[in-house]
């Protein structure tokens, strides 16, 4: 994994991303490196406190040490030899400390990463489409899922415009691309889901903001 990396290729000689389980943190120091984009393992270089709560540990010498809610950690990628900065939230057992209901082991799990991971895209993708898709990827990594789905929907609009479908609602433009065979049938299904979820992310409704959100249709 950490020696010479041969990029996997698809049927059309396109690069195939390596499978991964997300971005690394000190609880699970392995995953996709935001810097080099490779699956790697990481060495935890150190951590510093960011947010304290109102409690204290009593140390062996009698001194008090405030307990944490968040901390920032530096993790060294063993592939590119560069560090990644992670803001981590303290967990107790399988609950965030801020929502703790019972005891358990203490771990620290990532919520924000720097640098934000960039999308590894083919040079054949037109620059306007690549730029919008990259923004969708970065906002998702920054823990902004609603912003990410809106930018993902915007990516579909950019694809439609690039393929000559410039008028009408997005739903009809995507159907037209499907009928023409420009958009593969499987991709058409995915595009529909992205469009619907993107609609939900773009429209505020306090009754549907967290769960059970119903997509708005016709746009």
Tens of pLDDT, residue by residue over 99-119, are 877 778 889 999 888 887 776
pLDDT at 217: 41
3-class DSSP state of 67: strand
The model's confidence at residue 197, banded by pLDDT at 50, 70 and 90, is confident
Asked whether residue 15 carries a pLDDT value surpassing 70, the answer given is no
Average pLDDT value for residue range 2-14: 55
pLDDT of residue 52: 87
Q: At residue 89, what are phi and psi to the nearest 5 degrees?
A: -100, 140
Query: What pLDDT sits at residue 37?
Result: 82
**Taking 80 as the threshold, does the pLDDT of residue 3 lie above it?**
no
Average pLDDT over residues 74-85: 95
Q: How confident is the model at residue 218 (pLDDT cuts 50, 70, 90)?
A: very low
Sign of CA dihedral 93, 94, 99, 101: negative
- The DSSP symbol for 203 reads S
96 pLDDT higher than 60: yes
Q: With 80 as the cut, is the pLDDT of residue 71 above it? A: yes
| Banded model confidence at residue 141, pLDDT cuts 50, 70, 90 | confident
**Residue predicted with more confidence, 12 or 131:** 131
Instruction: Measure the CA–CA gap between 169 and 128, rounded to whole angstroms.
Output: 20
**What gap in Å lies between CA 166 and CA 157, rounded to an integer?**
9
Contacts of 13 (CB under 8 A, 6+ apart): none
**Please, which pLDDT band fits residue 19 given cuts at 50, 70 and 90?**
low
**pLDDT for residue 155 is more than 90:** yes
Residue 210 has pLDDT above 70, yes or no: no
Predicted TM-score of the model (pTM)? 0.59
Average pLDDT over residues 175-202: 86
- pLDDT confidence tier of residue 214, bands split at 50, 70 and 90: very low
């Amino acid at each position: 994994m950490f020696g010479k990396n041969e990029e996997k290729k698809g049927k059309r000689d396109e690069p195939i991303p390596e499978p991964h389980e997300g971005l690394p943190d000190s609880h699970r120091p392995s995953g996709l490196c935001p810097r080099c984009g490779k699956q790697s393992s990481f060495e935890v270089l150190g951590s510093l406190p960011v947010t304290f709560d109102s409690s204290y540990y009593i140390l062996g010498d009698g001194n008090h040490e405030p307990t944490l809610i968040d901390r920032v950690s530096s993790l060294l990628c063993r592939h590119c030899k560069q560090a990644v900065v992670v803001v981590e939230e303290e967990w107790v057992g399988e609950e965030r400390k801020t929502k703790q209901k019972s005891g358990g082991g203490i771990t620290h799990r990532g919520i924000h990463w720097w640098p934000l991971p960039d999308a590894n895209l083919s040079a054949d993708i037109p620059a306007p489409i690549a730029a919008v898709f990259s923004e969708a990827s970065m906002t998702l990594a920054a823990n902004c899922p609603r912003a990410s789905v809106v930018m993902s929907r915007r990516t579909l609009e950019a694809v439609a415009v690039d393929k000559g479908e410039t008028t009408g609602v997005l739903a009809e433009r995507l159907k037209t691309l499907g009928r023409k065979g420009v958009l593969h049938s499987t991709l058409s299904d995915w595009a529909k889901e992205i469009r619907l979820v993107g609609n939900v992310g773009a429209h505020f409704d306090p009754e549907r903001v967290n769960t059970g959100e119903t997509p708005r249709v016709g746009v």
